[in-house]
Structure 1
Amino acid sequence: MNTMTGRKALALGLLVPLLALTACGGDTTTGGGTQKTITIGTYGSGTTALATNVPAEFLEKNEQIQADHNIKVVSEEYSDLQTLYTDVTIGRIDVAIGGPSIIASNASTGAPLAVGGTVARSTNSVMSAGKPWTKEEIKGSRIVAQTSSGSWKAVQTRISSNFGLEPGRDYELINSESTAAAAIQAATGKADYAIVRAEQILIAQQQFPNLKVVANPEDLGLVAGRADWGYVLIVNTKKIDLESSDRLTRAIGDTTEWMKQHPDDVEQFAVSKGQTPGVTKQFLTSGDVNYDVQTLDEARDDMKLEFEALLKSGVIKEAPPSSVYGEK
């Protein structure tokens, strides 16, 4: 449930052209003061993802929401996760939408990254062709995942904390270029489990009737029965300050509220980008895309618990600096 309430629905025309690309992190003076230009990078893998590139692109199209929060947004879509995370780390883009583990691991080595706010809870799920998700079954099994993603790092943390099992020692970890490709390997018997997320879960179920979800986001949560944070704003602190992060977070909150109120428009946009018809609307209206937009102040305590779990499981080797929480 979105913690930012009381927002009004804002009209958004699907045919409004994308804003012209502008320099990263620039400021333009407006009648309301300084309007911050923020470049957001998202991972789309050639189609649409309701938790990443869709909110960014819809926000970029909506000049009214941008004006309400005194920001100007430019979105850039990436087909490669590592390039996305590299670009936000070096400051070629200002913000990326991704998993919190990326902030923890990179900030621990001195990268100028911090949590700018949250976007949505995790959509990570485990799929198999009938093999149950238990300690006994996982041990000695083959798990296929997109290992460069924050999704896998979160699941690895839960396997370690819940079952005491580690990759390489207790189970074989197979790298996949995407969660879609991971599902294929599980469906065809090349792996026992696939870590699949977001819309790809619905697509996999349609394509491979033998695949079932054997662990959902709530099953994989740090807190029993609650999905972890899956999508946060990864901010380069040399480009974006906390006040600008808060403005961007609130603007994304307004955008996701609009999307939930206009599922047909979002579906039309997604299909025009190559998404399988019906998948986006189903994922949006079912609530499986669990938007939970919070500013850093609102999410700070949860983020600390998340990073402590990453450290305890060995996914990160040292605790990230307090600057990742906006603290000095």
Structure 2
Amino acid sequence: MTPLERALRDQILSEGPITVEAFMHACNAYYYATRDPLGTRGDFTTAPEISQMFGELIGACLAACWAAAEKPEDVIYIELGPGRGTLAADALRVLRSAGLDPPVHLVETSPILRGAQAEAVPGATWHDDLSTLPNSPMLVVANEFLDALPVRQLVDGIERKVTAAAGGLAFDRDGTIVEQSPARGEAVAEIAKRLISNGGAALIIDYGHERSAPGDTLQAVRGHRYAPVLDKPGEQDLTAHVDFEAVAKAAVDAGAKVTRLVTQRQWLERLGISARAEALAAAHPHRAEEIGAARTRLTAPGGMGDLFKVLAIHSPDWPSPAGLE
């Protein structure tokens, strides 16, 4: 039994079953505070860790958006859940080549990941949440951030809960599940309000579905494999598919503009990932096979290329980011 499971069982036996939302929040807070979950030694690998091309193309997209907005001098770069800082480092390298060297603000609570980010992005400023971000024009990146925010599950209109069972934990009810995520809605609304007040654009990149629909999408990953959701609380990554229709509605309701939703494959191809892969392979012939494999993995139909989606939220005064017009 993990330390967190023991604590949760004690809480449940004392106070009663806890909601799925509370369970997911507790598990991920413990999980991210106690490890670096990325890479071959971790539990999963994100797109920035697969290839520098991912972050570079994001940097190029943001640079073009900034230029089209007439290059405001006080713009800042913000990343939500920035992992090891790999994406930020790659994106900022391209932004600097385009003449923009913005202050960097990272929303991250994990002390372990903050340490890695400090090495990758010297001079960054950290925030525990969105509330302390500066009031400046914003270039925001949220890659695989929303999927880790807790979801609420309803069965026949009744909130699903986690209870203690013989030898472990169990859900208190089954049936057709409807998922909601107030935490996502609040985060998106906060981003949208800041974009309206300060100007800027936000790229939301995550896996999920285009339309709201019933279904249980809560999943656990450990050691690069799926695992039972209630197994080993705090020792595996819990995520749920992002409902992009709900995300767009939260942004629009707050007054921001929202682009159309496209797949990661469509977006990266429109931004020129094939040309970038060719240039990298020509500059590093000994890595040509590796670079080609990375491009394929990022854009694979039926894989990351289609499962991951891209949506942008932007101020009414700013243009839509490239590839999403």
User: Does the pair score TM above 0.5?
Assistant: no
Which structure has the larger Rg? 2
Name whichever structure is richer in helix by fraction. Answer: 2
Q: Greater RCO between the two (CA within 8 Å, min separation 6)? A: 1
TM-score, structure 2 as length reference: 0.31
